[in-house]
Structure 1
Amino acid sequence: MTGGLKVTYDASIALLEMSEPASRNALSEQMRADFIRAMEDLHQKTDLRAVVLTGSGGVFSAGGDLKAMLARHRAGETSGAEDVIGRMAQLHGWIRRLRDLPVPLICAIDGPAFGAGFGLACAGDILLASDRASFGASFCKVGAVPDGNLFYTLPRIVGLQRAKELFYTGRTVLAEEALRLGLVMEVMAPEALLPRAMEMARMMCDTSPTAFRLTKQIASKALELDDEALLAMEAQAQSICLSSHYHREAIQRFSDKQPPKFDFR
């Protein structure tokens, strides 16, 4: 895929690389259009097992394209809320589809992840960072509220009080603090980041796609639903898994001390 987002494949793993160094991988019109197309393609791939999202040039994403926003203001293209709501709906549409991929989404964050770029990082199931990564919900500095689904994701990752502090101050969180806060799972040297993300993605490939999809769906609701609702989801999902050909084959291979082997059905 040409433009702002490069999509390549390593067997059943998709690597998404934001690649607009001039804008520090801002979410330009090109980048957004590429994400929309990528989500259409990924949701249709039956052999997909994991996705790694990263940025190029030592930058994850600077977030919203502020230069383009200013140009629209100067051109009189943003005269009221009705001019913005459609753009927000488009942003939410593809971020929701990224978040809801039925496979693991690993975000490999090298350099700044700011504004909506921070929200994009938090859409991941697992966040890995280089030691030069940094995070900022800096919306207050440009007279905006957090977007990119951060109102949902950030309090669930770092807690409500810390999320409010980051929203209210717009300050920068460096990699080591991000690790302490539980915002990222691991921190490493920049050159080790993508290999580690791909290694982790490969570790997640030898599983039942059905079981993983159901696990991700239920886990995403773990902090919203009460225990009884989660037990009901667990029972329904397990009834699907334990009656599947995946399960029968898997326990046979486990009993025979053979490695797991799942097809893409």
Structure 2
Amino acid sequence: MADYQFIALQTHGGVATLTLNRPDKRNAISDAMRTELIHALEAVAQDRAIRALVLTGAGKGFCAGGDIAGMQRRMQAPAGDVAFNGWARQQRVHHAVSLLYHMPKPTIAAVNGAAAGLGADTALSCDFIVASEQATFTWSYIARGLIPDGGGMYFLPRRVSLARAKELIYSGRKVAAEEAFALGIADRLAPAGQELDAAQRWAAELARGSATALALSKSILDQSSELSAGQVFAMGSQAQGICYTSTEHRDSVAAFLAQAARGREQAR
């Protein structure tokens, strides 16, 4: 794995753990951190030995959102450059979010503390969220005169309903772990300090299945809310055709048939 300054990436037993590593800044995402995050996510996606990904934050917080220094630079830019600079930044933000959301393997956010703004959106980009009992979530963009720009307007309504997402985004209020679990923002709760271990164990369980079938299932499920039943069925038919040719399917069928033959032989 490459050496990183603002993140850490480790693998064990097929599970990669990516840690946002600016604890002195509550893991706020700077441009430099985002570049490293993009490189790491691309590497994880391409590494077939990695079968699941856990995302967490160093120190007491998960991610405080966007970096304040970046906001200051944006305000200091010439007026004629602000819009284009913002557009260019948004392309990088959305690229990082898309890499995480479309990761062809299970992804779990282990939220160990505060997840605010872009940090909350980043957690939602994962398939699942394991939250520490001390975790909090807030879509606090409204306090800065901004809208959720890290995917929150897409992900949050799909987890908590449109009306509830509007309330959380309009108010920018803080959501504690128990409420986050009740609303469906968090999928599991863990005692403080145990959320990472819980997420890693869950990731290892999810990683046991066919990587081919899982990647294809995820790609269809992530689109299913916007598709008709017929479209989902058609995509499923194509995906199943691929699965029929996969090594995992052939090996599992061969093992099943061999076991059945042994059973018949023993029954004689």
What is residue 100 of structure 2 aligned with on the other side?
98
Residue deviations 1:34-75 (CA, integer Å, cap 9, x gap): 112112312221211000000011211000112331244235
What is residue 242 of structure 1 aligned with on the other side?
244
Residue aligned with 1:117, SS:
helix
What is residue 39 of structure 2 aligned with on the other side?
37
Taking the aligned partners of 1:228 and 1:118, their CA distance within structure 2 comes to 34
CA 1:242–1:82: 2 relative to 1, 3 Å: same
After superposing the two structures, state which structure 1 stretch, 70-79 or 220-229, moved more: 70-79
Higher helix share: 2
Matched, 1:66 2:71: no
What is residue 251 of structure 1 aligned with on the other side?
253
2:179 to 177, 195, 213: 177
Residue deviations 1:154-211 (CA, integer Å, cap 9, x gap): 1111110000111100001110000000111111112221111111111122221111
What is residue 115 of structure 2 aligned with on the other side?
113
Matched, 1:193 2:192: no
Matched, 1:159 2:161: yes
Taking the aligned partners of 2:221 and 2:85, their CA distance within structure 1 comes to 36
The question of whether the paired residues in 2 share the 8 Å contact of 1:61 and 1:117 is answered with yes
Taking the aligned partners of 2:88 and 2:133, their CA distance within structure 1 comes to 37
Q: Which amino acid aligns with 2:62?
A: F
Stretches of structure 1 that go unaligned for 5 or more consecutive residues are: 259-265
Counterparts of 1:16-35 in structure 2, within 5 Å, are: 16-35=18-37
Shift of 1:237: 1.1
Computing the radius of gyration from Cα coordinates, the structure with the larger value is 2
Residue identity over aligned pairs, in percent, reads: 36
CA 1:245–1:179: 2 relative to 1, 3 Å: same
Taking the aligned partners of 2:129 and 2:110, their CA distance within structure 1 comes to 6
Q: TM-score, normalised by structure 1?
A: 0.92
After superposing the two structures, state which structure 1 stretch, 184-193 or 75-84, moved more: 75-84
What is residue 123 of structure 1 aligned with on the other side?
125
Residue deviations 1:83-115 (CA, integer Å, cap 9, x gap): 210001011112111111111011100111110
CA 1:81–1:71: 2 relative to 1, 3 Å: closer
CA 1:25–1:77: 2 relative to 1, 3 Å: farther
Q: TM-score, normalised by structure 2?
A: 0.91
CA 1:152–1:162: 2 relative to 1, 3 Å: same
Q: Which amino acid aligns with 1:230?
A: V
Size of the aligned set, in residue pairs, is: 258
Taking the aligned partners of 1:135 and 1:95, their CA distance within structure 2 comes to 17
CA 1:12–1:77: 2 relative to 1, 3 Å: farther
Stretches of structure 2 that go unaligned for 5 or more consecutive residues are: 261-268
After superposing the two structures, state which structure 1 stretch, 38-47 or 197-206, moved more: 38-47
What is residue 227 of structure 2 aligned with on the other side?
225
After superposing the two structures, state which structure 1 stretch, 241-250 or 148-157, moved more: 241-250
The question of whether the paired residues in 1 share the 8 Å contact of 2:112 and 2:193 is answered with no
After superposing the two structures, state which structure 1 stretch, 34-43 or 213-222, moved more: 34-43
Residue aligned with 1:80, SS:
helix
After superposing the two structures, state which structure 1 stretch, 114-123 or 73-82, moved more: 73-82
Q: Which amino acid aligns with 2:129?
A: L
Taking the aligned partners of 1:134 and 1:256, their CA distance within structure 2 comes to 51
The question of whether the paired residues in 1 share the 8 Å contact of 2:11 and 2:50 is answered with no
CA 1:76–1:187: 2 relative to 1, 3 Å: same
CA 1:76–1:46: 2 relative to 1, 3 Å: same
Pairwise CA RMSD = 1.8
